[in-house]
Amino acid sequence: MIHLLDCKVLSNDEVAPGHRRLVLDGKAIAEDTCAGQFCMLESSPGLQPFLRRPMSIERFGGDSFSVLYKIVGEGTRLLGRIQPGDTVNVQGPLGNGFSIPKEFKRYILVGGGIGIAPLPGLAQALIRETGTPPEVILAARSRDILLCQEDFTRMNCPVFLVTDDGSAGMHGFASNALEARKPDKNTLVYTCGPMIMMGAVHRICMENGSRCQASLEANMACGDGVCMGCVVETTLQEEFRRMVRVCHEGPVFDSRDIRWNTGTPAHD
């Protein structure tokens, strides 16, 4: 069920340079969220900026939920100034989250940059549903902006780090770390991050017979599927499904359904 709530700010702490975690008191949203869903936050009570900001729901449960965000523009700069005790208007939970089919023997989470945000909640759900912590690959440009490592460690997840500059873990990209983990037909990979990273993750999964669910990020004006501002092209042949809305049909898709580039073939 979608709610529109004025949520009290419990904390808004910096977790890495330019990155913050906003924790909100919102029992109805926390109770109705599933891993991979998102919310639309009002960054200012005024009309500037006019549009809400879409944010992955990072953690949820009890009376509260959190979002992890990167300060990149006016809206997120305003969010960064919010203090405990302030109120934020939130619409959510929105979209379709991750699914957890139980026929797989391995589950691997691949997150890049701020795309790591929906994965702690997914790890909790996987542990609850399968009884086994998933393997986690965390990628970032450098050590100082690797996010959520401690969260996954507390859940006893095997964590593999990779950085563009080699300052932590493997020197390379998330796709290199995934190849090293040798996924196979018994592996389900979940990924969220830059499109180029997720496209590479998808290709590795296809080469190894693995399945992959990808959580897409997009600029959104409404979050309800009305404005059509977040459409992406698919590989599906049905006339009315060749373009889908990240906010409504997604944000999580079977990676085979997304046209990562013009060479991506359709599947049965």
Q: Are residues 42 and 125 in the same domain?
A: no
Residue 169, in any domain of the structure: yes
Q: Is residue 267 in some structural domain?
A: no
225 assigned to some structural domain: yes
Per-residue pLDDT at 187 exceeds 50: yes
Instruction: Summarize pLDDT for 133-167 with one digit per residue, the tens.
Output: 999 999 999 999 999 999 999 999 999 999 999 99
Which pLDDT band holds residue 263 (cuts at 50, 70, 90)?
A: very low
- Do 110 and 90 fall within a single domain? no
Whether residue 99 lies inside any domain: the answer is no
The total domain count for the chain is 2
Q: What is the mean pLDDT of the chain?
A: 94
CB 187 within 8 A of CB 210: yes
Residues 168 and 247 in one domain: yes
Same structural domain for residues 111 and 75?
no
Domain-located, residue 8: yes
Q: Which of 44, 63, 94 is the last residue of a domain?
A: 94
Residue where a domain stops, chosen among 67, 94, 121: 94
Task: Mark whether 132 and 250 lie in a shared domain.
Answer: yes
Closest CA to 64 of 22, 3, 34: 22
> Which residue bears the tokens 């780090």?
161
Task: Examine the pLDDT at 10 and tell me if it is beyond 70.
Answer: yes
Domain co-membership, 55 together with 116: no
Residue 14: inside a domain: yes
Q: Domain check: are 121 and 247 in the same one?
A: yes
Query: Which domain covers residue 132, as residue numbers?
Result: 106-257
pLDDT at 265 over 70: no
Nearest Cα residue to 243 out of 231, 228, 251: 231
Judge whether 146 lies within some domain.
yes
Domain ends where: 66, 94, 122?
Answer: 94
Give pLDDT, residue 82.
95
Nearest CA to 111 out of 70, 76, 146 is that of 146
CATH (domain of 83): 2.40.30.10
My answer on whether 181 and 50 are in the same domain is no
pLDDT at 267: 38
What value does the mean pLDDT take over residues 73-97?
96
Task: Summarize the confidence of residues 75-91 as an average pLDDT.
Answer: 96
Residues 60 and 110 in one domain: no
Q: How confident is the model at residue 264 (pLDDT cuts 50, 70, 90)?
A: very low
pLDDT at residue number 240? 61
Which pLDDT score, from 0 to 100, does residue 268 have? 35
Q: Are 113 and 84 in a shared domain?
A: no
- Closest residue by Cα to residue 177 from 204, 143, 145: 204
Is it the case that residue 45 has pLDDT exceeding 90? no
Please check whether residue 234 lies inside any domain of the structure.
yes
The domain that holds 173 is classified in CATH as 3.40.50.80
State the pLDDT at residue 37.
98
pTM: 0.94
* pLDDT in the model for residue 81: 95
- Same domain for 55 and 134, yes or no, is no
- Local structure of residue 126 (DSSP, 8 states): H
pLDDT category at 261 given cuts 50, 70, 90 is confident
Task: Mean pLDDT check: name the lowest of 48-62, 94-108, 202-216.
Answer: 48-62
Are 134 and 17 in the same domain?
no
Q: Is a pLDDT exceeding 80 seen at residue 262?
A: no
The pLDDT of residue 242 is: 85
pLDDT of residue 239: 64
